[in-house]
Chain A
Amino acid sequence: MSFAIIMTGFVALYIFVLAGFAGWVIIGNVPAILHTPLMSGSNFVHGIVVVGGLYALFNAVTPQEQTIGFFAVLLGAGNAAGGYAVTDRMLAMFKSSDAKPAHHRASVHTIKKG
């Protein structure tokens, strides 16, 4: 039994169509208030290209291929890490009225005193 993944034309098209449809539906459900984190988050998701970069670099033979493969991994890793960092930071800022972070509670407190 082989576990190699082999996708020819039509299988690939099926994957593309279904994934595109799933993406359209899922993204359509994201409220406008989250559109910036959504954009950086989907940005992060295409950082998966780093996996392809690793594959290309591991199979590089000539110095030219190694150099370009190196940049593929470098850029892909930057895309993934940076996309994650900014998305996580932004999403952590969204709080509801009930759960306010400590420093805001403190400032509300001073106002009440005044």
Chain B
Amino acid sequence: MLVTISQIVIGTADLAAAFLFLFGLQRMSSPATAPSGIRVAGLGMVAAVLASFFYLASVSPAAQPHVMVNLALALVALAIGGAGAWFVGRRVAMTAMPQMVAIYNGMGGGAAGSIAAVELFGGHTQGATQLVVTLLGGLIGAISLSGSVIAWAKLDGVLKVPLRVRGQQYVNGAVFLAAIAVAGLVVASVLGVDGLLLTTPQWIWVFFACALLFGVLMTLPIGGADMPVVISIYNAFTGLAVGLEGFVLQNPALMIAGMVVGAAGLLLTVIMAKAMNRSIANVLFTNFGTVAKARPGAITGTERPTDASDAAIKMRYAGKVIIVPGYGLAAAHAQQKLFEFVKLLVAAKVMVRFAIHPVAGRMPGQMDVLLAEAGVPYDMIFQLDDINDDFASTDVALVIGANDVVNPAARSDKASPIYGMPILNADKAAQVYVIKRGQGKGYSGIVNALFYAPNCNMVYGDAQAVLVQMIEAIRGLGAAAA
């Protein structure tokens, strides 16, 4: 009776969770409904977690004597893991979001891998299909765990340079094949084949060691600029691992949630790779992502500097202004100042919009979050496809902390490393101002033809200091008029 009740409770709660996850994600289709979406999904999660305590009613006979200990362990783990991550998640800076997402990803992958390990060590799997699926989920989960830790270290600046050695791809390939081969040995061992050198538990250890090592080796050579793609891939991996372990545990909620996330991660990976003009294989296996060779001499002319106040006044009397922010804006902590400046322009009846490149920031959409944090309303923020045609009819384009994403060489110069990448057509505006630290090259080391264009002026200086000058220039105007 108790078993039946617990099955009904768990079944109902998990069904509700699966539905609420999908419904919650569906509500993310607009910034207006998105906050309620995550709350709806959160409700589903709470229901599923609470219901899972009903599993205690039907534990296997072997685990019966340990029920109280296991329950205590579960409560402690929930409290520490939940409270710790909640505490950090509430406080982390928005600029640190990519590494947070990476670490939560790794945690999910680690949890899926651990479930696989418990099932394998405990010999709970029934039949070859379950065994193979468990191993596959464990493999993907473990890769996601160790790979995400490396991604976190790179994004957080703990690991600064990509580690590359000659022939690394062959080593990686060999380790991956070894993991697959050992998985085969685990299957053989569990199914009762003798004479395999090691015992079943030992092979399971070797299997997880290979999987973890592969995750590390696969991520180490990938450069910092490519990390967004990597996070998104591990997001998909973890989802897949969770889905597969869901099958092993016969839990459809895990299967549905895992697959939805797997699909989401895959889609985001494709979108990111497209925005960077690269194939996914190219990101993973060719070690771009760092510094491309600068090609001096291809561009004639000089950069023309101008004063911050002149640029500000020009914008104050312009009809339409588009601002192109890049990660340099966030690095200078100048988002707040920028929005203050924008509010002054808006008050003077200038039409101001923000144009966001898909790879602005260090993960997809991060620039949007940073602007929202500064108070910029989302209806002022436009994505590349929606605004790119409007530059031609715009009076002033203001580029702050962005470089490659406005480099016209991507459209015209076949020899440029970024040729073919979609860019924001800032150069088509009547007047372009670029706020830049100095005359040096940008993050990628590629010369930017825009800076030498006849309609472009440079405003040198720290973004925050320049914006303060711009704000003062416009306030000065107001005072003079009054």
Contact = CB atoms under 8 A, between A and B. Distances in A.
A48 B104 contact: no
Nearest to B263: A23
B85 A81 contact: yes
Interface in A29-70: 29-62, 64-66, 68-70
A69 to B, nearest CB: 5
A36 B365 contact: yes
Nearest to B361: A36
Interface residues of B, number: 132
B347 A66 contact: no
A12 to B, nearest CB: 5
Given A34-B368, A40-B97, A79-B108, A52 B74 contact: no
Nearest to B94: A90
A92 to B, nearest CB: 6
B343 interface: yes
Interface in B70-115: 70-71, 73-74, 76-78, 80-86, 88-90, 92, 94, 97, 100-101, 103-105, 107-108, 110-112, 114-115
Given A32-B356, A88-B39, A74 B81 contact: yes
Nearest to A40: B101
B394 interface: no
Contact of A95 (B89, B242, B375): B375
A interface residue count range (under 10 / 10 to 19 / 20 to 34 / 35 or more): 35 or more
A84 B118 contact: no
B122 A82 contact: no
Nearest to B67: A58
Interface string B40-77: 01100100110011011001101100110111011011
B408 interface: no
Given A70-B77, A77-B85, A107-B340, A23 B260 contact: yes
B147 interface: no
17 contacts: A19-B260, A22-B260, A24-B263, A29-B26, A38-B268, A40-B101, A48-B258, A55-B251, A66-B70, A69-B114, A71-B77, A73-B78, A75-B81, A77-B81, A77-B85, A90-B372, A100-B377
